[in-house]
């Protein structure tokens, strides 16, 4: 059963997973050993999927974001799997979602500059046939992050 301390632990780890267990334990009013056991339990039960380092996109050299909206005339399982493999193999495509509505997929692509989008586009269409691709360039990031709300945990 998830309680308020577990929620607080998850919330704090999302902000900085390198926080020392001693500091984390202090912030959630637990002993170090009890806090450590709770973290282990949260990992084992799948609430913590993995711990990662979030890189600075400017320093890494990919400050530009392009969203590609994709339409396809193909919906067979083999085409979808081929599309999935193509998307996974292109490192600049950092997110891909299947959609409802007018477009079938949206791809979040990070690039060194806008002009590099054509390189990624050509690599993608060389691998899979697409009906239509429309791209939108992000002008400004208003909110970015991977932290999830923990208030819904029961």
pLDDT digits (tens, 9 = 90+) for 80-121: 999 999 999 999 999 999 999 999 999 999 999 999 999 999
The enclosing domain of 30 has a CATH number of: 1.10.10.10
What radius of gyration do the chain's Cα atoms show? 20
Residues 6+ apart with CB under 8 A from 35: 9, 21, 24, 25, 28
pTM of the full structure: 0.89
Q: What is the pLDDT of residue 154?
A: 82
Residue 48, pLDDT > 90, answer: yes
Look at the alpha carbons of 101, 103, 104, 110 in this order and tell me if their dihedral is positive or negative. Answer: negative
Q: What's the CA gap between 91 and 35, in Å, rounded?
A: 36
If one counts the domains in the chain, the total is: 2
Residue 1, pLDDT > 90, answer: no
Mean pLDDT value across the chain:
96
107 plus 70 within the same structural domain: yes
pLDDT band at 7 (very low <50, low <70, confident <90, very high): very high
The CB-side HSE value for 1 (13 A sphere, CA atoms) comes to: 2
Q: What is the pLDDT of residue 88?
A: 98
30 plus 70 within the same structural domain: no
**What does the pLDDT look like over 114-149, one tens digit per residue?**
999 999 999 999 999 999 999 999 999 999 988 999
40 plus 86 within the same structural domain: no
Q: Which domain holds residue 16?
A: 4-44
The CB-side HSE value for 106 (13 A sphere, CA atoms) comes to: 12
Which pair of structure tokens corresponds to residue 13? 């780890």
36 plus 72 within the same structural domain: no
CA distances from 92 to 1, 76, 78, 112 (A): 39, 25, 23, 10
115 plus 73 within the same structural domain: yes
For residues 54-72, average pLDDT: 97
């Amino acid at each position: 059963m998830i309680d308020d301390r577990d929620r607080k632990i998850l919330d704090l780890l999302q902000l900085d997973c390198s926080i020392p267990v001693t500091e984390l334990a202090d912030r959630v009013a637990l002993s170090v050993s009890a806090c450590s056991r709770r973290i282990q339990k949260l990992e084992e039960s799948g609430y913590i999927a993995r711990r990662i380092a979030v890189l600075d996109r400017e320093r890494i050299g990919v400050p530009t974001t392009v969203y590609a909206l994709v339409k396809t005339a193909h919906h067979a399982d083999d085409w979808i799997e081929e599309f999935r493999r193509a998307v996974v193999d292109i490192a600049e495509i950092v997110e891909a979602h299947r959609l409802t509505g007018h477009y079938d997929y949206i791809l979040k692509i990070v690039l060194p500059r806008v002009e590099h989008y054509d390189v990624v586009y050509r690599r993608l269409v060389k691998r899979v046939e697409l009906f239509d691709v429309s791209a939108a360039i992000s002008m400004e990031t208003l909110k970015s992050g991977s932290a999830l709300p923990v208030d819904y945990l029961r």
